[in-house]
Amino acid sequence: MGVLSNFRVVLVGTLYSGNVGSVCRAMANMGFSDLVLAAPRLCDDWSEAERMAVHATGILQRCRKTETFEESVSDCSFVVGTTARGGLYRQHVKTPRELSPTLLQLAANSKVALVFGREDKGLVNDEIARCTHLIRIPVDPDYTSLNLSQAVLLCCYELFSALGAYEPPVEKSEPAQMARKLRLLDIWRGMLLEIGFMKPDKADHMMQGIQRIFSRGVFSDDDVSIMMGVARQADWASKADPNRDRG
C-alpha cells in the first residue's frame, strides 16, 4: 500500500515458526508485505508457520532468510529496533505512536527496516547499536514481555493509523430531524399506555426516561431496566385477553 511497501519487517534469531506465521498475519492486516528472517534458529516444524499465517501465506512464501542481521538490513537507509529493556544505547527510545509520523516521512523515499528480536532475549546490544531509531511499546511495568507477533502488530498498526488510509464506515441515513423524533416519542407514548407499561398520570415522567434512552442509547443500569420492562410488558400484553381492562 504505497509507502508501506518501503517498510521491511525483520525478525532476528526467531525460534518458533508459529510466531513467523502469526507475524505474517499481523503484517497482512496492516498492509505490510516484506518479511526477512535474519539468522533464524527455528526449533519446530515449518507447518506451524503455515497454520498460523491463515490467509497470509503469500507473505510467508515470499519471506527471505539471511545469514546475519547486517545482511537483512544492508539495503535499508533506516533501521528501527524494538526493545523492552533500558540501558546502554537504549536511552533515545520512542513509542510507536510518537515515531510513526517520522518513519512514514522517511519511508517516502527510503527503505525502512522494523527489527524485532528473539523471543527469549530480544535484540542484543551490538544489534541495538546498529539501529538508527529505537521503539519501546508502552506496557505495564510489571510485565513488559510481549509476544513477537503482538509487538509486530502494534508497531504496524500505529504506522497504518498514522498513514490515515483507513476510512471508517459512514452512516448512510441522514440524522433524524426533531419533528421525526418527537413523532417517535408520541408513538411510543401511545404504545406504552396501550400495553399497560405506564399509567396516564405517570406518562410524562416515564417518557423523560424513554427520551433519554433514545438520545444517548441504553447506557445506565436504569436504562436497561426500563427497556427490559417494556419488552416484558409487550410480551405479556401480546398474550393477554385483548378485551382486558386497560384502565
The string of DSSP letters for 2-63 reads GGGGGEEEEEES---HHHHHHHHHHHHHHT--EEEEES----S-THHHHHHHTT-HHHHHH-
pLDDT, tens digit (0-9, with 9 covering 90-100), for 122-162: 999 899 989 999 999 999 989 988 999 999 999 999 999 99
Question: What nine digits make up the cell of 62?
Answer: 515470499
pLDDT, tens digit (0-9, with 9 covering 90-100), for 202-235: 999 999 999 999 999 999 999 999 999 999 999 9
Q: How far is CA 178 from CA 181, 183, 188, 215, in A?
A: 5, 9, 15, 11
pLDDT, tens digit (0-9, with 9 covering 90-100), for 39-79: 999 999 999 999 999 999 999 999 999 999 999 999 999 99
Nearest-angstrom CA–CA distance, 158 and 182:
43
pLDDT, tens digit (0-9, with 9 covering 90-100), for 159-200: 999 998 777 788 888 888 999 999 999 999 999 999 999 999
Would you say the pTM of this structure is higher than 0.85?
A: no
Q: Are 70 and 43 in contact (CB under 8 A)?
A: no
